[in-house]
Copies of this chain bind each other. A is one copy, B any other.
Amino acid sequence: MTAEPLFGRLALIGFGLIGGSIARAARMRGVVGEIVATARSAKTRARVMELGIVDRVVDTNAEATDGADLVILCVPVGACGSVAQQIAPHLKRGAIVSDVGSVKGAVVRDIAPHLPAEVHFVPAHPVAGTEHSGPDSGFAELFINRWCILTPPDGTDAAAVDRLRAFWTAIGARVEIMTPKHHDLVLAITSHLPHLIAYTIVGTADELGEVTSSEVMKFSAGGFRDFTRIAASDPTMWRDVFLTNKDAVLEMLGTFNEDLSKLTRAMRRGDGEALFEHFTRTRAIRRGIVEIGQDSAAPDFGRLQTDVQKT
Protein backbone atom coordinates (compact mmCIF):
# COMPACT_ATOMS: atom_id res chain seq x y z
CA MET A 1 0.00 0.00 0.00
CA THR A 2 1.59 3.30 -1.02
CA ALA A 3 1.15 6.27 1.30
CA GLU A 4 -0.33 8.61 -1.30
CA PRO A 5 -1.67 7.74 -4.76
CA LEU A 6 0.92 8.21 -7.50
CA PHE A 7 -1.74 9.51 -9.90
CA GLY A 8 -5.06 11.15 -9.23
CA ARG A 9 -7.01 9.56 -12.04
CA LEU A 10 -6.04 6.54 -14.16
CA ALA A 11 -7.85 5.95 -17.44
CA LEU A 12 -7.75 2.43 -18.91
CA ILE A 13 -8.70 2.27 -22.56
CA GLY A 14 -9.41 -1.39 -23.25
CA PHE A 15 -10.17 -3.83 -20.48
CA GLY A 16 -8.93 -7.33 -21.23
CA LEU A 17 -6.22 -9.44 -19.60
CA ILE A 18 -3.78 -6.55 -19.29
CA GLY A 19 -6.16 -3.65 -18.62
CA GLY A 20 -8.07 -5.79 -16.15
CA SER A 21 -4.90 -6.86 -14.34
CA ILE A 22 -3.67 -3.26 -14.10
CA ALA A 23 -7.03 -2.21 -12.61
CA ARG A 24 -7.03 -4.99 -10.02
CA ALA A 25 -3.39 -4.42 -9.05
CA ALA A 26 -3.65 -0.61 -8.92
CA ARG A 27 -6.74 -0.81 -6.74
CA MET A 28 -5.27 -3.43 -4.44
CA ARG A 29 -2.13 -1.36 -3.91
CA GLY A 30 -3.90 1.99 -3.69
CA VAL A 31 -1.66 3.35 -6.41
CA VAL A 32 -4.19 5.76 -7.97
CA GLY A 33 -6.98 7.93 -6.65
CA GLU A 34 -9.61 6.85 -9.15
CA ILE A 35 -9.87 4.41 -12.05
CA VAL A 36 -11.99 5.15 -15.11
CA ALA A 37 -12.31 2.42 -17.71
CA THR A 38 -13.78 1.91 -21.13
CA ALA A 39 -13.80 -0.82 -23.76
CA ARG A 40 -14.87 -1.05 -27.37
CA SER A 41 -18.00 -3.16 -26.91
CA ALA A 42 -21.03 -2.47 -24.73
CA LYS A 43 -20.78 -6.09 -23.60
CA THR A 44 -17.30 -5.68 -22.13
CA ARG A 45 -18.21 -2.34 -20.56
CA ALA A 46 -21.25 -3.91 -18.89
CA ARG A 47 -19.11 -6.74 -17.59
CA VAL A 48 -16.51 -4.34 -16.17
CA MET A 49 -19.32 -2.50 -14.41
CA GLU A 50 -20.53 -5.79 -12.91
CA LEU A 51 -17.05 -6.75 -11.76
CA GLY A 52 -16.97 -3.59 -9.66
CA ILE A 53 -13.21 -3.14 -9.74
CA VAL A 54 -13.08 0.36 -11.25
CA ASP A 55 -14.70 3.58 -10.10
CA ARG A 56 -16.41 4.47 -13.36
CA VAL A 57 -17.07 2.83 -16.70
CA VAL A 58 -17.65 5.24 -19.57
CA ASP A 59 -18.82 4.72 -23.13
CA THR A 60 -16.13 6.45 -25.15
CA ASN A 61 -12.37 6.76 -25.25
CA ALA A 62 -12.79 10.54 -25.20
CA GLU A 63 -14.81 10.50 -21.97
CA ALA A 64 -12.30 8.19 -20.32
CA THR A 65 -9.48 10.54 -21.22
CA ASP A 66 -11.05 13.75 -19.92
CA GLY A 67 -9.27 14.81 -16.77
CA ALA A 68 -7.07 11.70 -16.48
CA ASP A 69 -3.50 12.03 -15.20
CA LEU A 70 -2.37 8.71 -16.63
CA VAL A 71 -3.97 7.20 -19.73
CA ILE A 72 -2.99 3.63 -20.63
CA LEU A 73 -4.00 2.11 -23.95
CA CYS A 74 -4.69 -1.58 -23.33
CA VAL A 75 -5.86 -2.51 -26.82
CA PRO A 76 -4.30 -4.61 -29.59
CA VAL A 77 -1.23 -3.07 -31.19
CA GLY A 78 -3.04 -2.42 -34.47
CA ALA A 79 -5.72 -0.34 -32.75
CA CYS A 80 -3.32 2.06 -30.97
CA GLY A 81 -3.11 4.63 -33.78
CA SER A 82 -6.83 5.22 -34.11
CA VAL A 83 -7.35 5.28 -30.35
CA ALA A 84 -4.57 7.89 -30.03
CA GLN A 85 -6.29 10.01 -32.65
CA GLN A 86 -9.58 9.84 -30.72
CA ILE A 87 -8.15 10.71 -27.34
CA ALA A 88 -5.69 13.42 -28.43
CA PRO A 89 -8.08 16.41 -28.17
CA HIS A 90 -9.18 15.32 -24.71
CA LEU A 91 -5.81 14.89 -23.05
CA LYS A 92 -5.19 17.01 -19.99
CA ARG A 93 -2.07 19.22 -20.05
CA GLY A 94 0.83 17.36 -18.40
CA ALA A 95 -0.91 13.96 -18.55
CA ILE A 96 1.16 10.84 -19.20
CA VAL A 97 0.05 8.69 -22.12
CA SER A 98 1.24 5.09 -22.14
CA ASP A 99 0.32 1.72 -23.61
CA VAL A 100 1.05 -1.97 -23.01
CA GLY A 101 1.56 -3.14 -26.60
CA SER A 102 3.77 -6.15 -27.30
CA VAL A 103 5.49 -4.29 -30.14
CA LYS A 104 7.03 -0.89 -29.59
CA GLY A 105 8.45 0.47 -32.88
CA ALA A 106 5.10 0.39 -34.68
CA VAL A 107 3.16 1.59 -31.66
CA VAL A 108 5.41 4.63 -31.21
CA ARG A 109 5.15 5.37 -34.92
CA ASP A 110 1.33 5.10 -34.79
CA ILE A 111 0.67 6.97 -31.53
CA ALA A 112 3.28 9.75 -31.33
CA PRO A 113 2.16 11.88 -34.30
CA HIS A 114 -1.33 12.33 -32.81
CA LEU A 115 -0.27 13.56 -29.39
CA PRO A 116 -0.19 17.24 -28.41
CA ALA A 117 3.15 18.66 -27.25
CA GLU A 118 1.99 19.32 -23.69
CA VAL A 119 1.57 15.62 -22.74
CA HIS A 120 4.25 13.03 -21.98
CA PHE A 121 4.38 9.87 -24.05
CA VAL A 122 6.03 6.93 -22.29
CA PRO A 123 5.39 3.64 -24.13
CA ALA A 124 5.48 0.50 -21.98
CA HIS A 125 5.29 -3.28 -22.32
CA PRO A 126 4.75 -5.50 -19.29
CA VAL A 127 6.32 -8.86 -20.18
CA ALA A 128 3.68 -10.92 -18.42
CA GLY A 129 0.55 -12.67 -19.55
CA THR A 130 -1.42 -15.85 -19.88
CA GLU A 131 -3.18 -17.48 -22.82
CA HIS A 132 -6.54 -16.07 -21.69
CA SER A 133 -8.14 -12.76 -22.61
CA GLY A 134 -11.17 -10.63 -21.86
CA PRO A 135 -12.33 -8.70 -18.78
CA ASP A 136 -12.55 -11.74 -16.49
CA SER A 137 -9.06 -13.04 -17.19
CA GLY A 138 -7.04 -10.43 -15.32
CA PHE A 139 -5.63 -10.78 -11.80
CA ALA A 140 -3.77 -8.46 -9.46
CA GLU A 141 -0.63 -10.62 -9.19
CA LEU A 142 0.11 -10.84 -12.92
CA PHE A 143 2.96 -8.33 -12.89
CA ILE A 144 4.71 -9.38 -9.71
CA ASN A 145 8.37 -10.10 -10.37
CA ARG A 146 7.84 -9.66 -14.10
CA TRP A 147 9.64 -7.02 -16.15
CA CYS A 148 7.97 -3.97 -17.64
CA ILE A 149 9.97 -2.39 -20.46
CA LEU A 150 9.66 1.36 -21.05
CA THR A 151 10.74 2.84 -24.37
CA PRO A 152 10.54 6.63 -23.94
CA PRO A 153 11.46 8.58 -27.11
CA ASP A 154 14.60 10.74 -26.94
CA GLY A 155 13.93 13.91 -25.01
CA THR A 156 11.03 12.58 -22.94
CA ASP A 157 10.66 14.38 -19.62
CA ALA A 158 12.66 12.36 -17.08
CA ALA A 159 10.16 13.09 -14.30
CA ALA A 160 7.34 11.55 -16.36
CA VAL A 161 9.42 8.42 -16.97
CA ASP A 162 10.13 8.21 -13.25
CA ARG A 163 6.44 8.49 -12.39
CA LEU A 164 5.51 5.70 -14.76
CA ARG A 165 8.37 3.62 -13.39
CA ALA A 166 7.01 4.20 -9.88
CA PHE A 167 3.55 3.10 -11.05
CA TRP A 168 4.78 -0.21 -12.46
CA THR A 169 7.04 -0.80 -9.49
CA ALA A 170 4.11 -0.22 -7.14
CA ILE A 171 2.08 -2.95 -8.83
CA GLY A 172 4.91 -5.43 -8.52
CA ALA A 173 6.94 -5.14 -11.71
CA ARG A 174 10.60 -4.47 -12.30
CA VAL A 175 11.33 -1.78 -14.84
CA GLU A 176 13.89 -1.64 -17.62
CA ILE A 177 14.39 1.05 -20.23
CA MET A 178 15.45 0.41 -23.84
CA THR A 179 14.91 1.71 -27.36
CA PRO A 180 11.84 0.53 -29.27
CA LYS A 181 14.09 -1.11 -31.82
CA HIS A 182 15.99 -3.13 -29.25
CA HIS A 183 12.74 -4.03 -27.48
CA ASP A 184 11.34 -5.42 -30.70
CA LEU A 185 14.41 -7.60 -31.30
CA VAL A 186 14.44 -8.92 -27.73
CA LEU A 187 10.73 -9.74 -27.82
CA ALA A 188 11.02 -11.28 -31.28
CA ILE A 189 13.15 -14.05 -29.77
CA THR A 190 11.64 -14.31 -26.27
CA SER A 191 8.00 -14.14 -27.29
CA HIS A 192 7.05 -13.62 -30.93
CA LEU A 193 9.08 -16.42 -32.55
CA PRO A 194 8.03 -18.93 -29.83
CA HIS A 195 4.40 -18.06 -30.58
CA LEU A 196 4.90 -18.37 -34.35
CA ILE A 197 6.46 -21.79 -33.92
CA ALA A 198 3.84 -22.97 -31.48
CA TYR A 199 1.03 -21.80 -33.78
CA THR A 200 2.75 -23.63 -36.64
CA ILE A 201 3.26 -27.01 -34.99
CA VAL A 202 -0.23 -27.07 -33.52
CA GLY A 203 -1.56 -26.38 -37.01
CA THR A 204 0.64 -29.13 -38.44
CA ALA A 205 -0.60 -31.67 -35.92
CA ASP A 206 -4.17 -30.78 -36.70
CA GLU A 207 -3.85 -31.55 -40.41
CA LEU A 208 -2.02 -34.85 -40.50
CA GLY A 209 -3.66 -37.69 -42.33
CA GLU A 210 -1.79 -40.57 -40.67
CA VAL A 211 -2.26 -39.39 -37.10
CA THR A 212 -5.75 -38.28 -36.03
CA SER A 213 -6.54 -35.18 -33.96
CA SER A 214 -7.93 -37.44 -31.31
CA GLU A 215 -4.58 -39.25 -31.06
CA VAL A 216 -2.73 -35.94 -30.95
CA MET A 217 -4.86 -34.85 -28.00
CA LYS A 218 -4.68 -38.15 -26.11
CA PHE A 219 -0.91 -38.41 -26.34
CA SER A 220 -0.15 -34.72 -25.94
CA ALA A 221 1.48 -35.11 -22.51
CA GLY A 222 4.76 -36.01 -24.23
CA GLY A 223 5.48 -32.32 -24.85
CA PHE A 224 2.96 -31.14 -27.43
CA ARG A 225 0.47 -29.80 -24.88
CA ASP A 226 2.95 -27.10 -23.80
CA PHE A 227 2.77 -25.68 -27.32
CA THR A 228 -1.01 -25.74 -27.43
CA ARG A 229 -1.22 -23.38 -24.47
CA ILE A 230 0.74 -20.73 -26.34
CA ALA A 231 -1.17 -21.42 -29.56
CA ALA A 232 -4.45 -20.76 -27.72
CA SER A 233 -3.60 -17.08 -27.26
CA ASP A 234 -5.78 -14.32 -28.70
CA PRO A 235 -5.74 -14.34 -32.53
CA THR A 236 -6.29 -10.57 -32.90
CA MET A 237 -3.45 -9.67 -30.58
CA TRP A 238 -1.07 -12.04 -32.34
CA ARG A 239 -2.10 -11.10 -35.87
CA ASP A 240 -1.21 -7.52 -34.96
CA VAL A 241 2.11 -8.53 -33.41
CA PHE A 242 3.23 -10.38 -36.53
CA LEU A 243 2.05 -7.64 -38.86
CA THR A 244 3.87 -4.94 -36.91
CA ASN A 245 7.10 -6.70 -35.87
CA LYS A 246 7.66 -8.55 -39.11
CA ASP A 247 11.28 -7.51 -39.68
CA ALA A 248 12.63 -8.55 -36.30
CA VAL A 249 10.64 -11.82 -36.35
CA LEU A 250 11.92 -12.64 -39.86
CA GLU A 251 15.47 -11.96 -38.73
CA MET A 252 15.15 -14.35 -35.75
CA LEU A 253 13.35 -16.88 -37.91
CA GLY A 254 16.29 -16.91 -40.31
CA THR A 255 18.68 -17.89 -37.52
CA PHE A 256 16.20 -20.42 -36.14
CA ASN A 257 15.86 -22.08 -39.56
CA GLU A 258 19.63 -22.38 -39.91
CA ASP A 259 19.88 -23.94 -36.46
CA LEU A 260 17.03 -26.34 -37.19
CA SER A 261 18.80 -27.42 -40.39
CA LYS A 262 21.98 -28.06 -38.42
CA LEU A 263 20.20 -30.28 -35.87
CA THR A 264 18.28 -32.03 -38.68
CA ARG A 265 21.56 -32.79 -40.46
CA ALA A 266 23.06 -34.19 -37.25
CA MET A 267 20.01 -36.44 -36.84
CA ARG A 268 20.12 -37.55 -40.48
CA ARG A 269 23.83 -38.39 -40.26
CA GLY A 270 23.32 -40.18 -36.95
CA ASP A 271 25.73 -37.80 -35.24
CA GLY A 272 24.84 -38.58 -31.61
CA GLU A 273 27.69 -36.49 -30.24
CA ALA A 274 26.48 -33.29 -31.90
CA LEU A 275 22.94 -33.91 -30.63
CA PHE A 276 24.16 -34.66 -27.12
CA GLU A 277 26.34 -31.56 -27.06
CA HIS A 278 23.46 -29.33 -28.18
CA PHE A 279 20.97 -30.87 -25.73
CA THR A 280 23.42 -30.33 -22.89
CA ARG A 281 24.07 -26.68 -23.73
CA THR A 282 20.37 -25.76 -23.69
CA ARG A 283 19.93 -26.81 -20.05
CA ALA A 284 21.95 -23.87 -18.73
CA ILE A 285 19.47 -21.26 -19.92
CA ARG A 286 16.61 -23.01 -18.10
CA ARG A 287 18.64 -23.05 -14.90
CA GLY A 288 19.29 -19.32 -15.33
CA ILE A 289 15.59 -18.55 -15.80
CA VAL A 290 14.62 -20.48 -12.70
CA GLU A 291 17.45 -18.91 -10.68
CA ILE A 292 16.36 -15.36 -11.47
CA GLY A 293 12.76 -16.20 -10.56
CA GLN A 294 11.30 -15.96 -14.06
CA ASP A 295 9.86 -19.48 -13.89
CA SER A 296 8.81 -22.01 -11.30
CA ALA A 297 11.39 -24.64 -10.37
CA ALA A 298 8.69 -27.26 -9.85
CA PRO A 299 8.76 -30.12 -12.39
CA ASP A 300 6.31 -29.63 -15.25
CA PHE A 301 5.79 -25.99 -14.15
CA GLY A 302 4.08 -27.41 -11.04
CA ARG A 303 1.09 -28.08 -13.30
CA LEU A 304 -1.98 -28.50 -11.17
CA GLN A 305 -2.83 -32.15 -10.78
CA THR A 306 -6.49 -31.17 -10.69
CA ASP A 307 -7.36 -34.25 -12.66
CA VAL A 308 -5.50 -36.60 -10.37
CA GLN A 309 -7.92 -39.06 -8.87
CA LYS A 310 -6.45 -40.27 -5.61
CA THR A 311 -8.21 -43.46 -4.58
Bound together, the chains give a CA A169 to CA B89 distance in angstroms of: 67
Beta-carbon contacts under 8 Å, A7-43 to B: none
- Which one of A146, A149, A185, A225 has the greatest number of beta carbons of chain B within 10 Å? A225
Which residues of chain B are near A130, meaning CB under 8 Å? 299-300
Which residues of chain B are near A255, meaning CB under 8 Å? 204, 207-208
8 Å CB contact of A303 from B144, B207, B253, B296: B296
**Is the C-beta of A177 less than 8 angstroms from some C-beta in chain B?**
no
**Is the C-beta of A46 less than 8 angstroms from some C-beta in chain B?**
no
Contact A304-B302, Cβ < 8 Å, known A236-B276, A260-B197, A272-B243: yes
The answer on a CB contact under 8 Å between A218 and B301 is no
Name the segment of A48-56, A57-65, A104-112, A261-269 touching the other chain: A261-269
Closest approach, in angstroms, between the C-beta of A115 and any C-beta of chain B? Answer: 26
Closest approach, in angstroms, between the C-beta of A192 and any C-beta of chain B? Answer: 8
**Interface flags, A117-138, vs B, CB<8A=1, else 0:** 0000000000111111000010
The answer on a CB contact under 8 Å between B239 and A279 is yes
Which residues of chain B are near A295, meaning CB under 8 Å? 220-221, 225, 228-229, 303
Closest approach, in angstroms, between the C-beta of A190 and any C-beta of chain B? Answer: 4
The answer on a CB contact under 8 Å between B305 and A141 is yes
Contact A293-B307, Cβ < 8 Å, known A191-B223, A201-B256: yes
Bound together, the chains give a CA A228 to CA B208 distance in angstroms of: 26
Contact A304-B301, Cβ < 8 Å, known A190-B219, A197-B201, A285-B217: yes
Closest approach, in angstroms, between the C-beta of A269 and any C-beta of chain B? Answer: 10
Closest approach, in angstroms, between the C-beta of A194 and any C-beta of chain B? Answer: 4
Q: Which residue of B lies closest to A224 (CB)?
A: B190
- Which one of A149, A281, A293 has the greatest number of beta carbons of chain B within 10 Å? A281
Bound together, the chains give a CA A246 to CA B217 distance in angstroms of: 22
Bound together, the chains give a CA A67 to CA B295 distance in angstroms of: 46
The answer on a CB contact under 8 Å between A218 and B147 is yes
The answer on a CB contact under 8 Å between A202 and B282 is yes
- Which one of A218, A294, A297 has the greatest number of beta carbons of chain B within 10 Å? A218
Bound together, the chains give a CA A286 to CA B206 distance in angstroms of: 11
**Is the C-beta of A157 less than 8 angstroms from some C-beta in chain B?**
no
Closest approach, in angstroms, between the C-beta of A181 and any C-beta of chain B? Answer: 10
Which residues of chain B are near A297, meaning CB under 8 Å? 306
8 Å CB contact of A260 from B200, B280, B289: B200
The answer on a CB contact under 8 Å between A275 and B205 is no
Which residues of chain B are near A194, meaning CB under 8 Å? 201, 222-224, 226-227
**Interface flags, A233-263, vs B, CB<8A=1, else 0:** 1011011101100100110110110011001
Could you list 7 A-B pairs, sorted by A, with CB under 8 Å? A189-B208, A190-B211, A193-B201, A201-B256, A205-B285, A293-B307, A295-B303
Given contacts A205-B285, A229-B301, 10 further A-B contacts (CB under 8 A): A147-B218, A190-B216, A206-B282, A217-B292, A232-B283, A239-B275, A249-B267, A293-B307, A298-B306, A301-B304
